[in-house]
Amino acid sequence: MTGRGTLRFGVSLEPDASTPLLDIARNADRFGLDFLGVRDQPYRRGTADAVTVLAAALTATSRIRVLPAVACLPLRPPAVLAKAIATMDRLSGGRVELGLGAGLSLEGVEAYGGTRPGDGTAALSALAEAVQIIRMHWSDQNGLRFQGEHHRFTALQAGPAPAHPIGIWLGVTGPRGLALAGRVADGWIAPSSLVPPNRLADGQRRLDAAAAEAGRDPGEIRRVYVCEGTIDGRETRGFLHGPPRQWVYELAELAIGHRVDTFLFGGAPEQLPEFALEIVPAVREHITRERTPAQGDMSPQGTVSTQ
C-alpha cells in the first residue's frame, strides 16, 4: 500500500469496449498519475471485463498502479478474485490495489447470473466475509477453512501471496457500510455523485468513529474521492462542473477541509490531459501554499505531503 496521507491522483475509467482503453492507460501513466481505476459493472452492455483491462493496462504501462474501482463482489467469488489480484500484483512488481463493493445494481447482478445477497444488511455481511477470505488467501497459512453465511472457502495452502501488502478499499456510502470500512478496510472510496461535500464530513466522522472503536488508527485509512464531473472552461455549473480554476479550489478544499488524500478523475476521458497536466499541479501548489506558514508566522501548522 502506498503511504496514507500522501496526496495522490488518478483516473476512474468506464471500461467502454469502444474506447481506446489502453491508450488512456498509457496516457495516465505518461502524465504521472498515481492510479488507474477501472469500474466493474459486467452486466452493462458494451463494457469490457474490468479485471482483464487491468491486466492489459499493467503490461502497457511502467509505473502507474491499478485497481478495480470497485470490483462487483456478487459476480467475483472472493477467493477467485484474490488469486487474480495477487497474480497481477506479482507479475507487475506490486502495482495493484483492490477496490471492493457489494454491487451497485443487484438487479443487474441477478440478470447476469449472480446471486442477490438479499437486503443491504446481507450485502454488507457478504462484503465483510469476502474481506476475510481475501486476506486469508493472501496469507502464508495452511489448512484454510471459512464457513460463513454467504461465502465458503477451503484450501490446503494459501496463495499466491501478492508482491506487496495490497490495500482493500471499500466502495460504500451508508452508515453501516462506513462502519464496516472503519473496522476492516485500508481505504474508503466515495463517488462524488453519491457523497457530495455536505455528506462527506459525516461520512468521515462515521469512518473515524468505527476505526477508533475497533482499536485502529483512523489516520491509517486512505480517503479516495471519485470526481464525477466535467471540466468546462466557460462557466460554473455546480460542484465539479466548471473551469479548471474551480476544480483546483474545490479539490484543495476537499483535501484540506475534508482530509481527502486521493482523487480519481471520473469525467470524460478526453478531459484527462487537462485534469492531469493543469489541475493536478495547481492543486498541489495550492495545498503547499495553504499549508506553508507565512514568513514570520512561527505557529505550528500541519503539512500535506505531495510526493
Question: Long-range contacts of range 30-34, CB-CB < 8 Å, 24 or more positions apart?
Answer: 31/272, 31/273, 31/276, 31/277, 32/276, 32/280, 33/9, 33/64, 33/276, 33/280, 34/2, 34/8, 34/9, 34/10, 34/64, 34/65, 34/262
Kind of pairing, strands 142-147 and 152-157? antiparallel
User: CA-to-CA distance for 240 and 217, rounded, in angstroms?
Assistant: 31
Model pLDDT for residues 259-284, shown as the tens digit of each residue: 999 999 999 999 999 999 999 999 99
Model pLDDT for residues 243-254, shown as the tens digit of each residue: 999 999 999 999
User: CA-to-CA distance for 279 and 264, rounded, in angstroms?
Assistant: 12
Q: How far apart are the first and last CA of the chain?
A: 15
* Cα three-residue angle 9-34-294, rounded to 5 degrees: 50
Residue 130 DSSP SS3: helix
- Beta-carbon contacts of 102 under 8 Å, excluding residues fewer than 6 positions away, are 73, 74, 117, 123, 124, 126, 127, 172, 177
Q: pTM for this structure?
A: 0.91
Domains of the chain plus CATH, in order, are 8-291 (3.20.20.30)
Model pLDDT for residues 154-177, shown as the tens digit of each residue: 888 888 999 999 999 999 999 999
Model pLDDT for residues 57-88, shown as the tens digit of each residue: 999 999 999 999 999 999 999 999 999 999 99
State which H helix or E strand residue 230 sits in.
strand 230-231
What residues does 98 pair with on adjacent strands? Answer: 168
User: CA-to-CA distance for 159 and 221, rounded, in angstroms?
Assistant: 25
What is the Cα 214 distance to its own chain's centre?
22
Place of cell 477501472: 38
User: CA-to-CA distance for 57 and 44, rounded, in angstroms?
Assistant: 21
Mean pLDDT, residues 86-104: 94
